[in-house]
C-alpha cells in the first residue's frame, strides 16, 4: 500500500518568514495530493490540493509543488502569521479503481509562528 513520510515533525518560524513542509510517497499510482490544516482542538480542513498533471499550485500565501518523478511534494507558506500556527498534514490518494479517494496521511507537522 501507499506510504507517506512527512518532514519536519515540528517547525518554528518568526512571523513574516516562510515555512516549508515536505512529503514523500511510495505509490506511483497516487495522483491526488491534498494538504490539511488542523488547529488545536479542531477538525482537519483542506487548505490546498494538487493533482499529478500539475507541477505547482498557488493560493495567496500558500503554494504546493509536486515532483512526480521523485515522488515528493511540498507545502510553502510565505509571510507567515501567528494564525498559521497549527498541525499540517499531507496526504496521497489514488483516483482510480475501488480505492479511489482513499488518502494515506503523513504524520503531521506542528508549525509554530512566533510573533
Among 34, 50, 85, 88, binds another protein (CB under 8 A): 34
- The backbone torsions φ and ψ at residue 82, rounded to the nearest 5 degrees and listed phi first, read -55, -35
- Cell numbers representing residue 43 in the block: 477538525
CA angle 17, 115, 108 (to 5 degrees): 65
Query: Does residue 103 belong to the site contacting another protein (CB under 8 A)?
Result: yes
Helix (H, G, I), strand (E, B) or coil at 16: coil
Total residue count of the chain as it appears in this document: 115
Only segment of 18-26, 28-36, 61-69, 77-85 that touches another protein (CB under 8 A):
28-36
Among 52, 65, 78, 99, binds another protein (CB under 8 A): 99
Tell me which residues touch another protein (CB under 8 A): 1, 32, 34, 36, 43-46, 49, 89, 93, 95, 98-105, 107-108
Amino acid at each position: 500500500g501507499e506510504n507517506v513520510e512527512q518532514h519536519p515533525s515540528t517547525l518554528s518560524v518568526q512571523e513574516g518568514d516562510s515555512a516549508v513542509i515536505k512529503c514523500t510517497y511510495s505509490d506511483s499510482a497516487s495522483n491526488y495530493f491534498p494538504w490539511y490544516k488542523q488547529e488545536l482542538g479542531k477538525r482537519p480542513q483542506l487548505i490546498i490540493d494538487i493533482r499529478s498533471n500539475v507541477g505547482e499550485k498557488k493560493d495567496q500565501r500558500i503554494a504546493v509543488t509536486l515532483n512526480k518523478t521523485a515522488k515528493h511534494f511540498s507545502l510553502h507558506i510565505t509571510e507567515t502569521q501567528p494564525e498559521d500556527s497549527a498541525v499540517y498534514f499531507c496526504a496521497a490518494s489514488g483516483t482510480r479503481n475501488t480505492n479511489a479517494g482513499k488518502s494515506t496521511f503523513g504524520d503531521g507537522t506542528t508549525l509554530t509562528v512566533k510573533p
